[in-house]
Amino acid sequence: MELTYRPRRLRRTPALRAMVRETTLAAADFIYPLFVHEGAEVEPIGAMPGANRWPLAELTGEVRRAWDLGVRCVVLFPKVAEGLKSEDGAECFNENGLIPRAIRQLKQEIPQMAIMTDVALDPYSCDGHDGIVSEEGVVLNDETIEQLCKQAVVQARAGADLIGPSDMMDGRVGALREALDDEGFEHVGIISYTAKYSSAYYGPFREALDSAPRSTSSKPIPKNKDTYQMDPANSREAITEAQLDEQEGADIMMVKPGLAYLDIIYRLRNESELPIAAYNVSGEYAMVKAAAERGWIDERAVVLETLLSFKRAGADLILTYHACDAAAWLLEG
């Protein structure tokens, strides 16, 4: 065949492929989600093989392991004791609560690690929602934001570097920015869950934190989060959310879930110059783990390909439970 251009020429050897590779993956791209609890033991999470709930006594060791592998940021999620949960989630701004203590501990022992937090009421709510549920069964927007602002300030005071509002209330980024600035925390960044979809991929996460919606009283509790998280059918709406978050002062914008929403990552990348994060969520993680345990897939190859796909779509950062494993594989080459 008389072909002038043969694309395979640049695929012929590992060296040539490396020279023209368009997208690269590094441990510093990862944000490592960690579940913490008040217990004394490390508790494996059944629906997330390889993931655990960490007691504070063991947390520093795991974070140090991540740092040594090249991971530069962790995000903390609390499993709150049942007796501390309430309808208004007031435990979320307890200065001596689990998350503030975890932040202070990590900042004292591994000060170079960036600490991101979660800002939402669902771990602290007896109703299991990201906001306050009214007596009529409506998730209240503005009243919820008042609680979130208190939560963010407490986390910033403890030493958080990045505040992560995952609640999807309208106007919360602007309110959080104002609350942080008023308390002298202008340096604390906001990594907003900009396009967080009402997804079926969150099941293992809700098991890890025991935070699914549930009824513990006579008032009606919404069975899902459809009235505040985004409809999976919508993509243009994500641009509206991104424009609002950018106007209100977000420093980084996130798409959650990641793998089923690569098109949303791509659209946000084309619409904004802000850094974009993708959340490789618990359901995505669990499916890979389950298939790997059965020998159906090569876990290392699938994980690294999946993470690379987030970068190729336009993500700068990836929240992933695979962070330490992937970082170790990248070091092996």
Q: Tens digit of pLDDT for each residue in 262-317?
A: 999 999 999 999 999 999 999 999 999 999 999 999 999 999 999 999 999 999 99
Domain 24-250 has CATH 3.20.20.70: yes
Determine the pLDDT at residue 215.
Answer: 72
Q: Is 44 helix (H, G, I), strand (E, B) or coil?
A: strand
Q: How far apart are CA 160 and CA 199, in angstroms?
A: 28
Nearest alpha-carbon partner for 167 in 188, 192, 184: 192
Q: How far apart are CA 125 and CA 185, in angstroms?
A: 26
281, two tokens? 């969520």
| Res. 8 pLDDT band, cuts 50 70 90 | very high
Contact (Cβ atoms closer than 8 angstroms) between residue 177 and residue 246: no
Residue ranges covered by each domain of the chain: 24-250
* pLDDT tens, position by position, 58-112: 999 999 999 999 999 999 999 999 999 999 999 999 999 999 999 999 999 999 9
| Res. 128 pLDDT band, cuts 50 70 90 | confident
Nearest alpha-carbon partner for 109 in 71, 67, 54: 67
Q: Based on DSSP, count helices (H) and strands (E) in the chain, helices before strands.
A: 11, 12
Active site residues: 196, 256
| Res. 216 pLDDT band, cuts 50 70 90 | low
